[in-house]
Structure 1
Amino acid sequence: MRSENTVTNTINRYRSFRYALILEGVAVGAISGVVVVAFRYLLGYAEILLNSVLNYGRTHTWFVPVWFVVLAVAAIIVAMLLKWDSLISGSGIPQVEGEIMGEIDECWWRVLLAKLAGGLIGLGCGLSLGREGPSIQLGAMAAKGFSRITKRVKTEEKLLMTCGASAGLSAAFNAPIAGVLFSLEEIHKHFSPEILLSSMAASITSDFVSRNVFGLKPVFTFHITHMMPLGTYGHVLILGVIIGLMGVVYNTCLSKSQDLYQKLPGQTMRLLIPFMLAGVFGFLYPSVLGGGHSLVEVLSSGEMVMGSLCLLFVLKFVFSMVSFGSGAPGGIFLPLLVMGAVIGGIYFNAVGMVSGSLDGLLGNFIILGMAGYFSAIVRAPITGIILISEMTGSFSHLLTLSMVSLAAYLVPDIMRCAPVYDQLLHRLLAKQNPDKKAVLTGEKVLVEGMIFHGSAAEGMKVSEIAWPKTCLVVSLMRGEAEFVPRGDTKLLAGDKIVVLCDETAEGQLHRTLQEFCETVKMQ
């Protein structure tokens, strides 16, 4: 009887919370916004402190070995935090995706504390990592904490975590629309009114909190004064192809770097490498330290020559691989955007050596490089286009950004190079659950799925799909109509289904939905 009541409550709650979820999204946006803004604010002071330390070390050589000792201690502390909770490793985005899929279960307060501390230490010491991944995970964990404290049901909790992830990205980059799109395009990989509206409420609220602290200016303050002439659009496509190839190199090298690090004994040893290298670069070539936000502003000034750009890209690329591969808490968004900007600058200078057809368009190629590299690596082109537009404060370049993103997307897709977060999620799940065994817990969750055009499920009856044993299709939405399907109900493209399942079968259900409903079959 209790199980039946739980199922009934879950379904009734799902049907009644669609509008309440918007208000909860506002609450989550405010909470996540405060957490992420605090993280971003402290990172700003950490960067100022790091620059002061390095400047002091350049004029007082006795301080150099002291700084390396500090870096070693920092590496040991981060290793201890990773031992306390291994799920703070890396960007945190695969962890959020894995939890929403039902594959992992993070301790929200432990991840919140450890990620905050580990991220501040790693980025504060100069590792080539970004703030956006930790911000997304921090936002999601703050939302999970809100859900647990207010005793939300599992289905609602996952939607609130999505709201928190959107709010995290929004507060990290002052990019509310990109925060919403990232949740739709990357985390859930389908559109849903519940996800869209609640994430939008959270993202806007979080952005409001952020702008009250950091002001109304966009993240990048350089201005692009020229629109690209139609005659230069061929260069946009060429750049997109080049960036697509570089994206394949990036994803491949990132995977290989993690493989190499796994051969080293102990987490402390793995972390000592990037922390020591941060000390070396700090005194010899500080431009590669940190995420590289200020570097984009320098690039846009046009002061760097071709040789300097090439050297910067190589060193930034290598240091990013070393930093992220070690498992240190930190993201890849900002470093990859910076590297994309450098590629755009290199292309601009290379063409400029041959002709002057691109004069005055350096800023254009910088943002094209950023959007294209994001699309090639993350494989979320819409998010990349809007993210760059919001970060620069200009939506006047959507056509060229779309062209370069499409070209950069197609190259790795044709070469069958998996998106970076899919790679990282697969690695995480293989590590977390090597021999996962399902045990029925009585906890029930509702999972949404969409029937894609050309998928195997299109035209099939509900009973013909190999659902996991503990799953039941409880709702089918076709346009504005909603009804309870039967076994002989035929599924059509565009249908949205809601499946009730045991919590332990959620991961298997997601794989079934992906195989039958979301994968387009070529016949």
Structure 2
Amino acid sequence: MKTKSTSDSHPARSGASRWRERLASSEALITLAVTAVAVGLLTGSVAIAFRVAVEWPLEQQFGHGNAELFETLPPLWRFITPLAGAALLALLWQQLRPRQRATGVAHVLDRTYNYAGRMPLANALAQFIGGVIALVSGQSMGREGPAVHLGAAFAALFGRRLKLPGNSRRTLIGCGVAAAIAASFNTPLTAVIFAMEVVLLEYTVAGFLPVILAAVTGASLAQALYGNAPLFTLPPLAPVTLAELPILALGGIAIGLFAALQLRLFARLRNGRFNRAPLPLRFVAAGLLTGSVAITVPEVMGVGYDTVQLALLGELTLSALLVIAAAKALTFIVSAAAGLPAGSVGPAVVMGAVAGAALANATALWLPGSDANSALYATAGVAAMFAALINAPLAGLLAVVELTGHHPLLMPAMVMVATATLSARFSSGLPGIFAIGLAGSNYASTRFRALSKISVLTAMERNIVQLTSPQLNATATAQVQRQHPRYLLLARDDAMLVTAASGLSTLAAGSELVWSQLPGESSAAVAIAATATLAEALQQMDRAATDWGFVAQSAPGQNRRTAIGVLSRAMIAQSY
């Protein structure tokens, strides 16, 4: 009779196998760092390709360097363009299966925490093509959501292609997100904090280092192509005075309430009859609304960074600022609730800038002696809206500095961020816009996130012997005893049984091993891939209604999987 042990059944490990085993360790910083640079190059290139695909056709229409001048279109074209783009998207989306239609940051969070970070390629391709159509046709959304989705998807596909362990998959997704944002907007620090704050939901040294390297790699690609000048230009700014801090705090409360109103409308549309309407009707309704509003308020079209620049320079009146803020909020929320494949960060930047500039204008009107500066208030408003709507306060603060290159703006922005976040969370009772609908999933489970960082390879018991028969002769039994295994495995009727091997020591010399006569109970064990995390292993045990699993690995060039270890719920509990 033959037996198989973990020590003699494995073929020689390849360099790729050793690389995967290093990544299985939660402390594999050097290996993760090298992998992060490769991911940064890949996802940064994809993000830049998306940016070029959006900007090139718009620059053909509006001139080089002017990819957002939708305001120059005649009123009729401002109406037709978003409507036609939404109709084209509806036609394309009808050809997709329902599960292939999900895009954006919410899709990334859902796949990261509910599907072990597995990102379908079909959704990523739909995001690329759909995002280009949405932004070129002037939908009232941004390009950050597509960048995040594409970065996460191609990072996950990279990890899956190389069969990297599951505990590194989530870190690679964070790397892809950071690299894509950094490559799209030349904001590496904001990209790192966004990835940690919104996607990974934690700050650890082991997580920071690879994400930082990926973001630097993505930003380097962007600077090589576009230079390193800040996205927005600021006029000369006077330092903020202490007397202005209460005004900024009140402005933060107002922006927080404004964001809460949008979150409530978004949640109502997503959970109500609007979301149950046929997809083509939702898309066309969003395009029709944007086109109708754009006839009189063309600033709602596209990302709107040209409008942000005007707000920073103080070239918009108070009435114009208020109208743009309300119109942008309405068109953006309806478009996002409809499911158009574009982003939410761009609209948040626009609404924050015009709301902040409106506060500066109102302060100057109500307090004639004040020195309220539009640029200062507008940039603080951007951070406040970012924090209140996206629920990413640190990313909002850093975005202000990197987008303007002016670090003295941090203090006023911090005041508005604090009050805006508090008022938005308390008045709406909702998380950030990306997390609406995910609160009851693994996204909200700290235990799940902790187990997702640990590979089964680090927690499993490797000292096992797999029997090929329920009864061994004396020679085979002696061979098993000499290996001193902790667990025995037996394949029976398309199932794997596991039992403790403590009873081997009680067998007399020359005895035969009979599985049914071993002390203790045998249990059914579910197969668990060697690339799985403890969170995935626990989910598989739940589905199989068992307390045991065996970790299986395929030898190179073979389809048959070999057991390399066993795992129990108790082992998982000890690792948490």
Do they superpose with TM above 0.5?
yes
Q: 2:234 aligns with which of 222, 226, 245?
A: 222
Q: Give distance in 1, aligned partners of 2:101 and 2:116.
A: 9
Deviation digits for residues 28-69 of structure 1 (CA, Å, limit 9, x no counterpart) = 11111111011112221243356599789739x7x8997588
Q: Does the alignment pair 1:22 with 2:39? A: no
Map residues 252-331 of structure 1 onto 2, 5 A cutoff. Answer: 252-260=264-272, 262=274, 264-331=276-343
| C-alpha spacing 1:368/1:78, structure 2 compared with 1 (3 Å) | farther
Distance across 1 between alignment mates of 2:223 and 2:111: 30
What pairs with 1:319-358 in structure 2 (closer than 5 Å)? 319-358=331-370
CA positional deviation for 1:429 = 5.9
Aligned length: 449
In structure 2, C-alpha distance between the alignment counterparts of 1:507 and 1:422, rounded to whole Å? 30
**Equivalent in 379, 382, 400 of residue 370 of structure 1:** 382
Residue pair 2:192, 2:215 contacting (<8 A) in 1 also? yes
- Whether 1:424 aligns to 2:436 is yes
Q: Which has the larger radius of gyration?
A: 2
- Do the aligned partners of 1:306 and 1:349 also contact (CA within 8 Å) in 2? yes
1:425–1:206 CA distance, 2 compared to 1 (3 A): farther
SS of aligned partner of 1:218: coil
Matches within 5 A, 1:115-514: 115-260=127-272, 262=274, 264-359=276-371, 361-415=373-427, 417-421=429-433, 423-426=435-438, 447-448=452-453, 474=459, 500-503=534-537, 505=539
The CA RMSD over aligned residues, in Å, is 3.6
Give the secondary structure class of the aligned counterpart of 1:397.
Answer: helix
Partner AA of 1:74 in structure 2: L
Distance 1:68 1:301 in 2: 28
Deviation at 1:206, TM superposition (A): 0.2
Shift of 1:245: 1.6
Instruction: Using the TM superposition, give the Cα deviation of residue 81 of structure 1 relative to its aligned residue in structure 2, in angstroms.
Output: 5.9
CA distance in 1, matches of 2:61, 2:291: 11
Please give the alpha-carbon distance, in whole angstroms, between the structure 1 residues aligned to 2:71 and 2:422. 44
> Cα–Cα, structure 1 residues 54 and 30, in superposed 2: closer, same or farther, change >3 Å?
closer
| Match in the other structure for 2:89 | 75
Moved more, 303-312 or 417-426: 417-426
SS in 1 for 2:452: strand
SS in structure 2 at match of 1:369: helix
User: Post-superposition shift, 1:168?
Assistant: 1.6
Task: Name the amino acid aligned to 1:197.
Answer: L
Counterpart pick for 1:88 among 99, 102, 119: 102
1:414 is displaced (CA, Å) by: 3.3
Q: Structure 2 counterpart of 1:390, which letter?
A: E
Query: Cα–Cα, structure 1 residues 40 and 229, in superposed 2: closer, same or farther, change >3 Å?
Result: same
Equivalent residue, structure 2, for 1:42: 53
The alignment's TM-score, normalised by the length of structure 1, stands at 0.76
Of stretches 357-366 and 121-130 in structure 1, the one that deviates more from structure 2 is: 357-366
1:104-115 superposed matches below 5 A: 106-115=118-127
Please give the alpha-carbon distance, in whole angstroms, between the structure 2 residues aligned to 1:201 and 1:45: 29
Q: Deviations over 1:112-155 (max 9, x none)?
A: 21110000111111111111111011001111122122221222
Q: Distance in 1 between matches of 2:355 and 2:72?
A: 33
2:186 corresponds to which letter in structure 1? N
User: What letter matches 1:363 in structure 2?
Assistant: A
The SS at the match of 1:330 is coil
Q: Deviations over 1:426-468 (max 9, x none)?
A: 28969xxxxxxxxxxxxxx95249xxxxxxxxxxxxxxxxxxx
Q: State whether residues 102 and 123 of structure 2, in contact with CA within 8 Å, keep that contact through their aligned partners in structure 1.
A: yes
* Partner SS, residue 74 of structure 2: helix
Q: Is the 8 A contact 1:221 1:392 kept in 2?
A: yes
> Which sections of structure 2, spanning at least 5 residues, go unmatched?
11-16, 64-68, 443-449, 461-532, 543-572
For residues 507 and 399 of structure 1, the distance between their equivalents in structure 2, rounded to whole angstroms, comes to 50
SS in structure 2 of the partner of residue 48 of structure 1: helix
Matched, 1:58 2:74: yes
Amino acid at match of 2:344: I
* Alpha-carbon distance change, 281 to 243 in structure 1, aligned in 2, over 3 angstroms: closer
Contact 1:218/1:393 (8 A) holds in 2: yes
Q: Deviation at 1:507?
A: 13
Judged with a 3 Å threshold, the aligned counterparts in structure 2 of structure 1 residues 147 and 122 are, in CA distance, closer, same or farther, namely same
Structure 2 counterpart of 1:511:
none
In the TM superposition, what is the alpha-carbon distance from 1:421 to its structure 2 partner? 4.1
Residues of 1 paired with 2:176 and 2:55: CA distance? 22
What SS class does the counterpart of residue 396 from structure 1 fall into?
A: helix
Query: CA, structure 1 residues 501+335, in 2 after alignment: closer, same or farther (shift >3 Å)?
Result: closer
Query: Alpha-carbon deviation of 1:297?
Result: 0.8
- Is 1:352–1:359's contact at 8 Å kept on the other side of the alignment? yes
8 A contact 1:98–1:425 mirrored in 2: no
User: Does the 8 Å CA contact 1:131/1:331 hold for their aligned counterparts?
Assistant: yes
For residues 28 and 305 of structure 2, the distance between their equivalents in structure 1, rounded to whole angstroms, comes to 40
Equivalent AA in structure 2 for residue 41 of structure 1: V
Aligned-pair CA distance for 1:180: 0.9
Equivalent residues of 2:356, 2:378 under 8 A apart: yes
Deviation at 1:3, TM superposition (A): 9.9
1:265–1:251 CA distance, 2 compared to 1 (3 A):
closer
Q: Check whether the contact 1:82–1:88 (CA below 8 A) recurs between aligned residues.
A: no
Whether the 8 Å CA contact 1:139–1:164 is kept in 2: the answer is yes
47-56 or 156-165: which moved more? 47-56
- Structure 1 counterpart of 2:356, one-letter code: G
How high is the sequence identity, in percent, across the aligned residues?
23
Matched residue, 1:482: none
Q: Is the 8 A contact 1:102 1:506 kept in 2?
A: no
**Distance 1:143-1:472 versus aligned 2 partners, 3 A rule:** closer
Q: Aligned-pair distance for 1:424?
A: 2.9
TM-score when normalising by structure 2? 0.70
Greater Cα offset, 162-171 or 218-227:
218-227
Distance 1:336 1:165, change over 3 A: same
* One-letter amino acid of the counterpart of residue 447, structure 1: S
